[in-house]
Amino acid sequence: MYVCVMDSQGNKLLHMNIKNNDFEFFLKKIEPWRHDMTVCCECLFCWYWFADACREAGLTFVLAHALYLKAIHGGKNKNDRIDSEKLANLLRGNLIPPSYVYPTAKRPIRDLLRQRASYVWQRVELLQRISTRQMARGDCPVSKFSNNREKWLEALLESTKDPRQRFSFQQDVQLVIQYDNAIKELEKELLRITKREQPRDFALLRSIPGVGKTLALTILYEVESIDRFASAQNFLSYCRLVKGTVSSAGKIKGLRGAKLGNPYLRWALGEAAVLGKRHHEDLDAYSRRLETKHGKFKGTAILASKLGRAVYFMLKNGKTFDLNQLIGASPKTI
């Protein structure tokens, strides 16, 4: 933990490395200025403990958005000593791009949800690897039997006579089965907690066409509280559904910022748009109108944005999904 304490005039009062993240030693070193101090930390993987410690110590804490900081204080040399001083200068000039400090009590639940997503991605890699090895031999991939992996393994073993390939298939399928079981247990725990603590919002999100349990859980815990967004536009920007623009002399030169925001919400709302038009006749008809006017890809993106706007007002007002408000017309006229 490299610390830089700076006054409002830019004078460095303390600049040192605190070994082993010794927070008590940190408090002793900042004691002369503690009464009027704001603490800033970059939003990396290790900020949880520091944010909680500052809150317990009564210190004002600001979490700096790492990706925005990269654009602001980029330089030729980079190390902890330089970064700490630049953070202090940005904070002094009120130029820190803030990131949301997710509540301590809800972090384990969100981490469980992201752990499930990680398991799903790793399982997909295994499934793809097994299919690739079958196609490399010139065979069509054997059906995966998602509800009966043992039957799938038997079919795989029957399709090859090489003992080394049979052993490889056995190991990979056993890992897939382990991931299946782990994902099911995570889902049960997440649903149990959600139905006990946030049943209303979970039920509201489930009323959206195409939003099942997984997508509802993702939206619910990645948003955390809809009140932290001042407007629907801010929420859509956070969901990566709105891009920024690059303009000069009143002319737009291009777009930027496609990867600024929450990737989990972007995925969830994109999936909701695809699944919603697949399973809801009126939503499909509206989607086809958008695709005819804007093209297939952009039409789906617009539908995802409209669903994101619907999510904002549903959670804000505590109301279920209304297709008429989404499309601005009666479904019979589509």
Choice between 45 and 224, residue whose per-residue pLDDT is larger: 224
CB atoms within 10 A of CB 71: 10
Comparing CA positions, the residue from 125, 116, 142 lying closest to residue 176 is 125
Task: Give bridge partners of residue 98 from the DSSP assignment.
Answer: 64
Choice between 333 and 145, residue whose per-residue pLDDT is larger: 145
Comparing CA positions, the residue from 61, 71, 73 lying closest to residue 100 is 61
Give residue 120's pLDDT.
96
Residue 333: pLDDT band by 50, 70, 90 thresholds?
very low
Cα separation of 164 and 312, whole Å?
A: 54
| Residue 151 pLDDT > 50 | yes
**Radius of gyration over every alpha carbon of the chain, rounded to an integer in angstroms:** 25
Q: Label residue 122 left, alpha or beta by phi (over 0 means left) and psi (-120 to 50 means alpha).
A: alpha
Comparing CA positions, the residue from 323, 313, 326 lying closest to residue 235 is 313
| Residue 166 pLDDT > 70 | yes
Q: Which residue shows structure tokens 């499909």?
A: 284
E strand intervals along the chain = 2-6, 12-17, 38-42, 60-64, 244-248, 251-256
Quick one: average pLDDT of 90-95?
92
Give residue 68's pLDDT.
83
Give residue 330's pLDDT.
38
Residue 243: pLDDT band by 50, 70, 90 thresholds?
confident
| Residue 214 pLDDT > 90 | yes
Residue 17: pLDDT band by 50, 70, 90 thresholds?
very high
| Residue 215 pLDDT > 60 | yes
- Specify the pTM: 0.87
Residue 329: pLDDT band by 50, 70, 90 thresholds?
very low
Tens digit of each residue's pLDDT (9 = 90 or more) over 93-120: 999 988 999 999 999 999 999 999 999 9
| Residue 222 pLDDT > 60 | yes
Is the CB of residue 302 less than 8 Å from the CB of residue 294? yes
Q: Provide, rounded to the nearest whole percent, the portion of the chain with pLDDT above 90.
A: 68
Give residue 140's pLDDT.
85
Quick one: average pLDDT of 272-299?
90
Cα separation of 165 and 182, whole Å?
A: 26
Cα separation of 178 and 172, whole Å?
A: 10
Tens digit of each residue's pLDDT (9 = 90 or more) over 24-40: 999 999 999 999 999 99
Give the angle subtended at the CA of 184 by the CAs of 48 and 211, to the nearest 5°. Answer: 80
Quick one: average pLDDT of 303-310?
94
Comparing CA positions, the residue from 183, 187, 188, 177 lying closest to residue 144 is 177
Q: What sign for the dihedral angle of Cα 188, 190, 196, 202?
A: negative
* Mean pLDDT over the full length of the chain: 90
Q: For the ranges 156-170, 194-208, 253-267, which has the lowest average pLDDT?
A: 253-267
Q: Provide, rounded to the nearest whole percent, the portion of the chain with pLDDT above 70.
A: 97
Residue 266: pLDDT band by 50, 70, 90 thresholds?
very high
Residue 71: pLDDT band by 50, 70, 90 thresholds?
low
